[in-house]
Amino acid sequence: MSDPMETTAATTWHDPVRGWRYLPERTPCRTSCLEELPVHEQRVFRTILGKDTSLALLRMDGAFVALSRGKLRARRTGEKFMVDPTQRELAAMRAAGPKAGEYIESLGKTDMALFTVEEFTTLIQVIVSTYLETKATFDIDNTWDDIPF
């Protein structure tokens, strides 16, 4: 049996037997494998999971569902799954790189082991602020179509 998980956001999904279901944030679940499913459902989930590799097969609230790995968190550690970034997020990351480089250059140090706590914290602030500002600009323009459905 896998480690217990929980959802990081409220989730709505359709169960063929129970109809539409709403599950609040922090709904307990666990990852599953296709072999746990009845044979007739294995084909359906194999197709679903084959089309979208960002989905995980879960046992949740008494049923099997395919849910985005980005909406899961390990219950014991709080560790989040690594999520593949969208094109918008990648562009925002690329914008943060030069700003981080400018800051590091201004310190006159390239060995991060020599950074003070304040210098390292400021570096993180520069990266996160630039990332968020750039992403917000993209969101205002709303010219991105990175929603997968």
Q: For 106-149, what is each residue's pLDDT tens digit? A: 999 989 899 999 999 999 999 999 999 988 887 776 655 555 44
Taking the whole predicted model, whether its pTM rises above 0.85 is answered as no
| pLDDT tens string 67-117 | 888 777 766 545 555 556 777 888 889 999 999 999 999 999 989 899 999
- 3-state DSSP assignment of residue 130: helix
Compute CA distances 73 → 135, 136, 144, whole Å.
Answer: 24, 25, 27
